[in-house]
Amino acid sequence: MVSIFSPAKINLMLSVHAQRADGFHELSSIIAALDFGDSLEVNFSENSDSLVCDDPLIPVDQRNLILQAAELLRASLGHGKYFSFKLLKNIPVGAGLGGGSSNAVAAVRGMLILLDIRLADSKIQEIVSKIGSDCSFFVNPVPSLMTGRGEVIEQLDSSLIDRIKGRALIVFKPEYSISTQEAYSALVEDSFESETEALKRLKYADDDADFCNSVLYNSFLKTTRSKYLALGILLDLLNSKGFPSLMSGSGSACFSLLSPGNDAKESHYIREIIMNSLGENVFLKPSFII
């Protein structure tokens, strides 16, 4: 048996450009992994793949990307082994934190260890990109620029990585979730921007001591805030107080970045603001970018 850490992620920038002929959308996104996430135990099984999870909201049939990853890896490598998986879930569902994609890559990592097979990251990315658009990022989850439909991953310049890694933040999620399909279908014409405009934001970040003013952007936020008013008002309030805050991915999870060196004091204050706005049952998780 092997145990694999499966990190959550945030989108510091998510710019959607246009819909492609294949139904996917072109996008540019700055993505970073967090030091909190799920844990996946992987073991051999006799005759079939199986999955158990401590969260009853998680499907444990073929809808789950973990079991899809097992089937895909078996077909890709031509082996006849089956696996059992035990998922300990910490990443909330329907949050835009990449839990399902991260779990799929963790499953592939675990299966390869058990099979004693070593593959280059590029080969693993080739395999997992067939499971989901953002799976490729989790193969080597350092702060990166994601383009195409999410399968093209390029590490950021080392100077920007150094400013992003280790940054403290608070991740929060209201009690409701937002499906990715719902979020994309709600996009309107002025939700989109060109790739040129998006990449300008990345260029300005090189000259921005904090990077937040240049980078933080989400194409989904305009349509989301029109439906979920309280979430939009909360983000506006946090930003007005000097805490750079944004929705991650297609939502509904959001994050607030803390100032270096003043983490504890700001964390307490931000938690109070969030709980006063979204209630005591809101998901709150202090974390760091890894």
The residues that are catalytic are: 9, 134
Query: Rounded CA gap, 20 and 133, in Å?
Result: 13
Residues composing the chain: 290
| Segment holding 6, helix H or strand E | strand 2-19
Query: Rounded CA gap, 191 and 17, in Å?
Result: 8
What Cα–Cα distance (Å) separates residue 131 from each residue in 136, 211, 253? Answer: 9, 32, 22
Task: Determine what percent of the chain falls in helix, strand and coil, rounding each to the nearest 5.
Answer: 40, 30, 35
Query: Rounded CA gap, 267 and 206, in Å?
Result: 27
Query: Rounded CA gap, 168 and 126, in Å?
Result: 32
What is the identity of the amino acid at 199?
A: L
254-257 and 168-173 as β-strands: parallel, antiparallel, unpaired?
antiparallel
Q: Is the peptide bond before 133 cis (omega within 30 degrees of 0)?
A: no
Residue 98 has, within 13 A of its CA and on its CB side, a CA count of 28
Q: How many other β-carbons are positioned within 10 Å of the β-carbon of residue 280? A: 7
Query: Rounded CA gap, 266 and 271, in Å?
Result: 8
End-to-end Cα distance, the chain = 26
